[in-house]
Amino acid sequence: MSFLDRFRPRRVEVENVEPNRVFNVGVDDIYNDIWDKRSQDWIDLSPPKIKPTIKNRRKASQFPSVYGILNNLIMKAISSYVIDGENQEAVDHILDVEAIWNLRNLMYECLWKCFVDGEVFYECSENTEIDGHIGLRLLAFDGEKSLIKKIYDDDSQLIGYKQLVVKKSALKKWKGTQFWETYQEEDVITVDFEVDEISNPQLISIDGVGQSLVKNIIDIAYEIESLTRMMPLIVHKSANILVATLGNSDRKETKMDKDARDNIANQISDFHKKGVVVVPYGVELDNVGNPVLPKIEEYIKALKAMLYEGLVTPESLYSSESSNRSTAQVQLTDPQTGHVLFIEFTQEFLKDWVERTLIDPELEKHGFKKGDAYITFQTTQADLDTNYLEKADEIGDSNDKLENKDGSTAITTDPTPYKTEKGKQE
């Protein structure tokens, strides 16, 4: 407050109104704050460093820490699924078609794109059927060259999709041609789809838009990668020689010629070499500044903690520094923690999508009833990434003491640990 502000009149309103007034939601409750000239928008003060485009999300997903966390979430979600049902004949049929669908990889692909892109688009029509079975075809979508629009009517009901894509012609004759002769013509086209011809799974949807987990941690992943790239240079610069003293108390040296200077400079600047430099007697090489290295690993550790939080994964899963064994066990096994609940939420999403898009239509197409076969996950089994905590001693003594449960990923000597059925009848 300036000196003159003390004498200027200020308007003060007492909050005393009738409860039946018209209330402007999101404005009246913060009226004084938003009209204060000293207040600013956070996005103006701190805009994102990296644009959260789909291209950049996919780049961030390949950063080692992000890649490992995403794979951990997906593997936990899909590894314990089984095909079950009351009608064994229907179950056997779905198990046979499962190989055509490549169901495990399909669920992996769906989750990966939901985590990274926010949503994914599959064509599911007569054109995608495989040998009379229901099939899906992944549509190209990157937000830049391959685009998809959702079309709504006046009642806000979805009525169709439009896809702008670069379509390449199929090769008519490819056998006998040279490797470099496999040229495909391409053209930019627009394709229209009806609502029932597209499956658009969204793990988390807000205002009809799929939400990406990776979108919110792009800047953090970029900062970690930048610091990691700086580490070799910082270590090298801290040990680099910047001053050469010619002569000492016993002798006086003349100037070093250009070739000698260049030779020393080349050896010092290449940190891949052993760092041994030989100079003539009377030439002394010294460091300049403080040789103590900055603790970059502390900054990286703090950023990684936010990375784990943004990707709904406890830090104790990858590091034991921030917690003890008991805390780690609670974070990784307690069904009331966000990590376990998120995995169960993901499994419910997969169950609903796979049954609605693939299993139920396939059953009805081949004379079965909807619900005769379904997918379920063995999440309630006490093996969700925690056998190393609960039975660490027994694992060290004998691996084959652990009982294998259907769909379990526990350490076991069972030759088929990834069962996808509860007992297929021959």
Domain-wise residue ranges, the chain? 51-118+206-238+298-426, 121-200, 240-286
pTM for this prediction: 0.75
Q: Which long-range contacts (CB under 8 A, 24 or more apart) does 420-426 make?
A: 420/81, 420/82, 420/83, 420/95, 420/98, 420/103, 420/104, 421/82, 421/83, 421/84, 421/91, 421/95, 422/82, 422/83, 422/84, 424/91, 424/92, 424/95, 425/88, 425/92
**Identity of residue 154:** D
Please give the Cα distance from 181 to 186 (Å, whole number). 15
Per-residue pLDDT of the chain (426 residues; tens, 9 = 90+): 566 666 666 655 556 667 677 777 777 777 777 777 888 888 888 899 999 999 999 999 999 999 999 999 999 999 889 999 999 999 999 999 999 999 999 999 999 999 999 999 999 988 899 989 999 999 999 988 899 999 999 998 999 999 999 888 888 888 888 888 888 888 899 999 999 999 999 999 998 899 999 999 999 999 999 999 888 877 776 766 556 666 666 666 666 677 877 777 777 666 666 556 666 666 666 666 666 777 888 899 999 999 999 998 888 777 666 555 555 555 566 666 678 889 999 999 999 999 999 999 999 999 999 999 999 988 655 544 444 344 434 444 444 434 444 443 333 334 444 455 554 554
* The Cα angle at residue 384 between residues 337 and 93, in degrees rounded to 5: 120
Q: Which two tokens stand for residue 304?
A: 């990684």
